[in-house]
Amino acid sequence: MPKSATPTHCPYCALQCGMNLTVGPDAGVEVAERADFPVNRGALCAKGRTAPALLTSRLRLTSPLVRKGGKLEPAGWDEALDRIAGALDGARHKHGPDACAVFGGGGLTNEKAYALGKFARVVLGTSQIDYNGRFCMSSAAAAGTAAFGLDRGLPFPLEDVARTGCVILVGSNPAETMPPALRYFTELRENGGTLIVVDPRRTRTAEQADLHLAPRPGTDLALALGLLHLVVAEGRTDEAYIRERTTGWEEARAAAMAHWPEYVERVTGVPVPQLREAVRLFCAPESAMVLTARGPEQQAKGTDTVGAWINLCLATGRAGRPLSGYGCLTGQGNGQGGREHGQKADQLPGYRKLTDPAARRHVAEVWGVDPDSLPGPGRSAYELLDALGTDIRTLLVMGSNPVVSAPRAAHVEERLRALDFLAVCDVVLSETAELADVVLPVTQWAEETGTTTNLEGRVLLRRQAVAPPEGVRSDLEVLHELAARLGVEKGFPADPEEVFEELRRASAGGPADYSGITYRRLAEENGVFWPCPASERPVGAATGDSTGTGARTGGSGFSAKGTPAEVHPGTPRMFLDRFATEDGRARFVPVSHRPSAEEPDEEYPLLLTTGRVLAQYQSGAQTRRVDELNAAAPGPFVELHPRLAARLGAAEGDPVAVVSRRGRATAPARISAGIRPDTVFMPFHWPGAGRANTVTNPALDPTSRMPEFKVCAVRVEPVDRD
């Protein structure tokens, strides 16, 4: 490693690949391999490799912008902060605290997510806070909590994937979303294991599978139930495990037995022999896993769909055992940590429930406030956005671009325009920032230090490698300044380590316990898995046979501040002894198939499903501003089966419109035999005419409040070339 290299992590997805950053003599920043970080072992995808371009982008904001005469004009920090504080103060006094809302992001560091939740509840006193992570993993979190008593995306390290016997990968395409993770699936097959991919499209990941099941979008709940039916019918259940480690089997079994394979074939389009083959591959080895991602989760029945896959794991004894289990491949960079520290509408730091009196007392004590002063749960992300301009009059957005990423996006854009006041903190002028009254330019990944928690529950230190440009401040400084202007002088430090020290105390004793983790440990141990209490071993967790972390790096540069006397090793593998439920047993949740919120009809005869491409990330606010990535993926497209394209008279590259009850999105046709003829696919990273989320359905899951991004009824129309 060159002397000046700083070990840090990628700004993008939940793999949080390790990388070294070096600053050259011309102040240019270069990415170098960081082989000591065990998750990516030096590998990076195109997004991570080009991430330094964000630091020096000509599109970078370096001055606050304030709307004057209808236009955003450069302004000083004091003027901009005064305007925001004045608007928030005015709204809460005129309409009450819930007239102020806060919208966060799954890319914010743990410290920012924590400070934002505290700011909303302590400074503004509002219940109206949620974040874009609601659109990411909320269904998996709800189903995992119901079954295991606790949600941690992967309750085991990724390295276990390479050593298990079979993986069913449902609605996930790591070949495009997190390419370095694909290595684990390749190694799985090299080690004699098998990979089953469930996806309506023959993706680059599906091409590598031993078996590809391509269900109709919105029917993977039926698919999982059909597999469970066959498991029971073929006598492949693990009765001793069910008896000793679970509850609720009889109800779940009865629900699954109503889903006959022939019925499941009719609903899903997956032939019965393929269902039987999947059961054979999954049940034959000693160990197996089911991993889900946005495919099954982003549905109005996402919680039940994930629950059905968990039931399959439980019935076959594949959870809470070595090299076996259910896991969710979280998407956003801090998708895991972002949901643990209090920016979610219903949660307090430490993954505590906002409605739990003991949790409220604990957190209120850390915050130095009366527990009764803390508001109750607020609206979920889409419901909050839908209420803008009604009882919600002002909104502060941090780390999110809902104009592109929210469902029914044209309506969300309208609601944002209906606000009395909108403030956005961002690195660039995102499509949401363009609508704001005040935009604050903030620091980004390599310009600041903070922690993230990757998809494995591994807490990481993302270190500052370069100084931020002049005129830019951190989100923590923004919250510090706003709190002071709103009368709260203390409790919002701008120093991330100070915030982390408080976060540790707030999380102590909670499900996501970080109290035994310090910056120094993170630097020296290359990450620590939660739960990691200051001293005791946590309930529902086992430390497993290794810490799963990399070698100690030494010379961290961080003080021993707060280092517990007795060091807990962290918890790479959970549930090996018991689940995190009261009785230590996992719970089957009985579920049944139901149609999607919108099924095809005469007017809208096709199904739209949305997703991602390798060279872009989420709403594209960052990656669309990197030349190399733009060249690789310059715009949206509509993927069509050749038979559908022929019916429409559309050739490769012809513009076509995808039309739903909510609007239309236009993009060039991309013809592929790898997609079902009844389905079209669009990536959602772009704004404007090709914005896929103009079309998507905001129907919500009753439990997780996840919108139905993954399936809605559409028609496709040819569009004249101008």
Chain contacts with ligand SF4 (rule: CB under 6 A): 10, 12-13, 15-17, 40, 44-45, 47-48, 178-180
Q: Output the smallest distance, CB 15 to ligand SF4, in A.
A: 4
Bond from prior residue into 531 cis (ω within 30 degrees of 0)? yes
Q: Is the Cβ of residue 462 or residue 715 nearer to ligand SF4 in the bound state?
A: 462
Q: Is the Cβ of residue 9 or residue 229 nearer to ligand SF4 in the bound state?
A: 9
Q: Is the Cβ of residue 10 or residue 227 nearer to ligand SF4 in the bound state?
A: 10
Q: Is the Cβ of residue 23 or residue 45 nearer to ligand SF4 in the bound state?
A: 45
> CB–CB of 141/340 below 8 Å?
no
Q: Is the Cβ of residue 17 or residue 459 nearer to ligand SF4 in the bound state?
A: 17
Q: Which two tokens stand for residue 717?
A: 């129309």
Q: Is the Cβ of residue 54 or residue 80 nearer to ligand SF4 in the bound state?
A: 54
Q: Output the smallest distance, CB 110 to ligand SF4, in A.
A: 16
Q: Output the smallest distance, CB 623 to ligand SF4, in A.
A: 9
Q: Is the Cβ of residue 48 or residue 342 nearer to ligand SF4 in the bound state?
A: 48
Q: Output the smallest distance, CB 51 to ligand SF4, in A.
A: 7
At 601, the amino acid letter reads: D
Q: Output the smallest distance, CB 69 to ligand SF4, in A.
A: 40
At 431, the amino acid letter reads: E
C-alpha–C-alpha distance, residues 604 and 596, integer Å: 14
Residues 6+ apart with CB under 8 A from 631: none
Q: Output the smallest distance, CB 25 to ligand SF4, in A.
A: 26
Rounded to a whole number, what is the largest CA-CA distance in the chain?
A: 73
Q: Output the smallest distance, CB 686 to ligand SF4, in A.
A: 18
Q: Helix %, strand %, coil % for the chain, to 5?
A: 35, 20, 45
Q: Output the smallest distance, CB 90 to ligand SF4, in A.
A: 40
Q: Output the smallest distance, CB 39 to ligand SF4, in A.
A: 8
> Exposed/middle/buried for 250, CB within 10 Å: 0-12, 13-18, 19+?
exposed
Q: Which residues of 161-200 are buried (b: 16+ CB within 10 A; e: fewer)?
A: bbebbbbbbbbbbbbbbbbbbbbbbeebeeeebbbbbbbb
- Judging by DSSP bridges, how do beta strands 352-353 and 394-398 pair with one another? unpaired
Q: Which helix (H) or strand (E) holds 141?
A: helix 138-148
Residues 6+ apart with CB under 8 A from 518: 504, 558, 560, 561, 562, 563, 564
> CB–CB of 666/656 below 8 Å?
yes
Residue of 486, 258, 525 lying closest to 394 (CA atoms): 486
Of all residues in this chain, which one has the CB nearest to ligand SF4 in the complex?
48
Q: Is the Cβ of residue 16 or residue 444 nearer to ligand SF4 in the bound state?
A: 16
> CB–CB of 598/698 below 8 Å?
no
DSSP state letters, 503-552: HHHHHTTSSS--TT--HHHHHHHT-EESP--SSSPPTTB---S-------
Q: Is the Cβ of residue 22 or residue 563 nearer to ligand SF4 in the bound state?
A: 22
Q: Is the Cβ of residue 314 or residue 629 nearer to ligand SF4 in the bound state?
A: 629
Q: Output the smallest distance, CB 631 to ligand SF4, in A.
A: 17
Q: What is the DSSP letter of 216?
A: P
